[in-house]
């Protein structure tokens, strides 16, 4: 691991990603302390006399939105939504995917086939369309949005874990421990699952990048987290018709979504380089 | 070949059957009662009941499903609750716009992804490689609606080169296709790079170099022929995914494709349209997979179909 850690720390892009994730987390946790204004307060001096939003200025660092609220404050609180959904939804997807993948790969037989045919079926659905339909069915709140994303995103993870479990279960050392009388829970928890951790860690990180994007997209389409809760995609959704006159209302939240997603992608990619032995020496 | 084809077709049909089962169940979970949405708020109870009867929604659910399947086999996807038009016709009328956007997108994806991936592979580990790969990650990390709005702002507002959305001419196509092409191009360049890196390690490439061929010929003629195979498979999958339309980009640019149709339908709970689009998309994805499998042996004679 110290070799891997060194390799990881040498990757400047991964360090950049890690620092950005840290900054976003600090912004999310300490939003009430950092934010100069409350996120939902409509300021009288937050709009021009004609009622248009203000561009970035001394009082409102990133300008104001259509209702005269501070964009900076809303972005800080929006980081909470993105991170909570990113981590919760992806964690749930990881749990479902790993659970089904391990069962299908270890138990095999009828149950295994049934699970994998079901994942094939899920693969045939366009993910975004399915997520939109699900979000429209359950009127979306924070946790519902997280659940919808998890319901769509577990499929890939299940497939990867399934094929890894199968290869592991057929290895000779598993036959060896079985021949000395190890029980199946022992084989599963001591001899198989520990080998799946690297894959889970990589997918856990890369998956957050996809989840952050999916949450922003759902909010942009108006089926995400409900206003007035500030979410980055939602801020753009609210200001979309006005963006030619107030481009900062699209630009700043857009940069925030992209940076957060990019950071998780960079870190996940670096982790894969370090943890996946088949990738070693390739890049 | 024939056995392979029948087997794959059989699997595809089973999957499509499952898809109809899921879309049909989803439509019953919708909270809003479609009959009430058609009838309007002021409708009397008798009107509501007669509309329910007219649409066949008073029958037991399994009966509705069987009837739905029966019509589907005859190519009938039902009528839109709102517009009273046949769903098949509605989707067909949106198909040209979506296909046009698809062709434009694949054009930009390849235009961006292939050269970037090849260049990164040949400069592996150098600064150019790092930059290209970081930009590719940037391309896949930026949400399509943000990219779309920014491109509109720059190339339609500040520099009025392209129209502010809409449909009709080749000029209307450029920005939506570019938006999708940039995010897709990121994936293509990564795939092209890793495939090219693998191929350039092969013995026959060493032979080609030893023959004294220029690096250019080695990479672009000998290397590319094999390295491009996974990319072609990916185009097959892309075509399938496109059958659902590009919901986000079509909504940003007001592009009248299947994605916009689906989006409008979801907002008014027009269940037959939602089921129709999902079904068409699933058929597209299944066929796209099949197409990718079938085309491969023609490009790569090493692959046999079993």
* A262 vs B contacts (CB less than 8 Å): 137-138, 141
Task: Give kind and range of the element (H or E) at residue A105.
Answer: helix A71-107
* A134 vs B contacts (CB less than 8 Å): 26
The conformation of residue B158, written as its DSSP 8-state character, comes to I
Look at B149 and A250 and tell me if their CB atoms are within 8 Å: yes
* Alpha-carbon distances, residue B278 vs A130, A205, A222, B263, B292 (angstroms): 8, 30, 20, 11, 21
pLDDT of residue A281: 47
What's the whole-number average pLDDT of chain A?
A: 87
Can you tell me the distance from the alpha carbon of B83 to that of B270, in angstroms, rounded to the nearest whole number? Answer: 9
Closest CB to B145: pick one of A138, A236, A262: A236
Residue B43 confidence (pLDDT) above 50: yes
Look at A132 and B277 and tell me if their CB atoms are within 8 Å: no
Q: Report helix, strand or coil for B168.
A: coil
Q: How confident is the model over A40-94, as pLDDT tens digits?
A: 888 878 787 777 888 888 777 788 888 888 889 999 999 999 999 999 999 999 9
pLDDT of residue A283: 44
Preceding peptide of A228 cis, ω within 30°: yes
pLDDT of residue A20: 95
Look at B15 and A121 and tell me if their CB atoms are within 8 Å: yes
* Alpha-carbon distances, residue B114 vs A101, A257, B225 (angstroms): 34, 27, 12
Look at B150 and A254 and tell me if their CB atoms are within 8 Å: yes
Give the alpha-carbon dihedral of A183, A184, A189, A191, to 10 degrees. Answer: 80
User: Which letter, b or e, does each residue of A237-268 get, where b requires 16 or more Cβ atoms within 10 Å of its Cβ?
Assistant: bbbbeebeebbbbbbbbbebbbbbbbbbbbbb
Our measurement of the distance from residue B80's CA atom to the centroid of its chain's CA atoms, rounded to an integer in Å, reads: 23
Angle between helices A142-169 and A109-123 (to 10 degrees): 130
Has this prediction a pTM greater than 0.90? no
Closest chain A C-alpha to B230 CA, distance in angstroms: 18
Can you tell me the distance from the alpha carbon of B135 to that of B126, in angstroms, rounded to the nearest whole number? Answer: 15
Count of helices and strands (H, E) across chain A: 12, 0
ipTM of the complex: 0.87
* B269 vs A contacts (CB less than 8 Å): 136
pLDDT of residue A216: 93
Look at B278 and A236 and tell me if their CB atoms are within 8 Å: no
Nearest alpha-carbon partner for B94 in B241, B283, B273: B273
Closest CB to A136: pick one of B11, B137, B266: B266
């Amino acid at each position: 691991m110290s070799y891997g850690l060194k390799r990881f720390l040498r990757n400047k892009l991964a360090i950049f990603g890690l620092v950005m994730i840290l900054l976003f987390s600090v912004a999310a946790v300490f939003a009430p302390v950092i934010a100069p204004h409350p996120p939902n307060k409509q300021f009288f001096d937050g709009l021009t006399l004609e009622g248009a939003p203000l561009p970035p200025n001394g009082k409102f660092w990133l300008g104001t939105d259509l209702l005269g609220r501070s964009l900076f404050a809303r972005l800080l609180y929006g980081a909470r939504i993105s991170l909570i959904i990113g981590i919760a939804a992806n964690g749930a997807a990881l749990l479902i995917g790993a659970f089904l993948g391990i069962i299908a790969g270890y138990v095999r037989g009828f149950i295994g086939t049934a699970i994998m045919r079901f994942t094939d079926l899920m693969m045939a659905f366009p993910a975004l369309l399915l997520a939109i339909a699900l979000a429209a069915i359950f009127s979306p709140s924070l946790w519902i949005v997280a659940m919808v994303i998890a319901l769509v995103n577990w499929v890939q993870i299940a497939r990867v874990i399934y094929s890894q479990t199968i290869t592991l279960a057929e290895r000779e050392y598993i036959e060896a421990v079985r021949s000395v009388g190890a029980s199946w829970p022992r084989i599963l928890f001591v001899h198989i699952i520990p080998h799946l951790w690297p894959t889970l860690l990589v997918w856990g990180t890369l998956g957050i990048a996809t989840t952050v994007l999916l949450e922003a997209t759902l909010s942009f389409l108006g089926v995400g987290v409900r206003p007035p809760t500030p979410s980055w995609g939602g801020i753009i959704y609210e200001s979309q018709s006005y963006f030619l006159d107030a481009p900062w209302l699209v630009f700043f939240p857009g940069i925030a979504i992209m940076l957060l997603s990019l950071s998780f992608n960079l870190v996940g990619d670096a982790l894969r380089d370090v943890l996946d032995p088949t990738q070693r020496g390739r890049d | 070949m024939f056995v392979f084809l029948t087997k794959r077709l059989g699997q595809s049909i089973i999957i499509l059957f499952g898809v109809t089962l899921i879309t049909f169940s989803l439509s019953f979970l919708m909270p809003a009662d479609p009959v009430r949405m058609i009838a309007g708020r002021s409708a009397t109870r008798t009107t509501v009941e007669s509309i329910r009867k007219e649409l066949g929604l008073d029958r037991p659910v399994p009966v509705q499903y069987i009837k739905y399947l029966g019509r589907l086999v005859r190519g009938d996807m039902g009528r839109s609750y709102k517009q009273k038009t046949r769903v098949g016709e509605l989707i067909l009328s949106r198909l040209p716009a979506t296909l046009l956007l698809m062709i434009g997108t694949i054009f930009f994806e390849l235009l961006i992804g292939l050269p970037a991936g090849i260049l990164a592979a040949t400069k592996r580990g150098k600064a150019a490689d790092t930059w290209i790969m970081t930009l590719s990650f940037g391309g896949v990390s930026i949400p399509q609606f943000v990219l779309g709005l920014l491109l509109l702002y720059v190339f339609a507002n500040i520099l009025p080169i392209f129209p502010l959305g809409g449909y009709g001419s080749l000029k209307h196509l450029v920005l939506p296709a570019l938006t999708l092409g940039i995010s897709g191009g990121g994936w293509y360049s990564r795939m092209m790079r890793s495939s090219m890196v693998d191929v350039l390690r092969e013995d026959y490439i060493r032979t080609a170099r030893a023959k004294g061929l220029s690096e250019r010929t080695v990479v672009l003629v000998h290397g590319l022929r094999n390295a491009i195979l996974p990319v072609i498979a990916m185009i097959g999958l892309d075509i399938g995914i496109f059958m659902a339309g590009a919901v986000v980009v079509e909504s940003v640019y007001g592009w009248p494709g299947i994605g916009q149709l689906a989006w409008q339908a979801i907002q008014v709970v027009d269940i037959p349209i939602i089921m129709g689009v999902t079904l068409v998309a699933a058929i597209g994805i299944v066929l796209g997979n099949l197409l990718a499998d079938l085309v491969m042996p023609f490009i790569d004679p090493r692959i046999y179909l079993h």
